[in-house]
Amino acid sequence: MAKETGIGLAVAFDDSGGSARTISNDITNLDFSIPRTTQDTTGLDKTGMERLLLLADFSTTINGVFNDASNMSHDVFKTVASTSVARTLTITVSGQTLPNEVFATDYALTRSATGELTYSVPAVLQSGTVPTWA
């Protein structure tokens, strides 16, 4: 097992028509999380916490630079507000792939005082399928 960087990480995100578009070139950073919920089941007779492991989830926020070229980030995200479709998001690093069916919940654009035009797209698990690295 070798330690590695995130350099070379690739992201593909479906457009509203269901076609996967590799938009890694437009992304400046992203975070993603695969949390599990828990249920507190601690009885009065316990002095330590007792829990049950419950459902798995997935969430991400993708940040990038505005690019309105064909099949790039703006093409992919411009329909977030007008379509209610699940999209496949695939994150790949070092031959490891994490595919998830997600709902993109916003496409927020920011024009800074110095002129940058950037975006932020949060997305959450849609399918009920446990996020699994392959």
Provide mean pLDDT across the span 92-110. 96
Q: Which helix (H) or strand (E) holds 75?
A: helix 73-77
pLDDT digits (tens, 9 = 90+) for 119-134: 999 999 998 999 999 9
Amino acid at 112: S
Q: Report the Cα 18 to chain-centroid distance in Å.
A: 16
pLDDT digits (tens, 9 = 90+) for 15-61: 999 999 999 999 999 999 999 999 999 999 999 999 999 999 999 99
Q: For residue 127, what pLDDT is reported?
A: 87
Q: Is residue 1 scored above 70 in pLDDT? A: no
- pTM of the complete model: 0.90
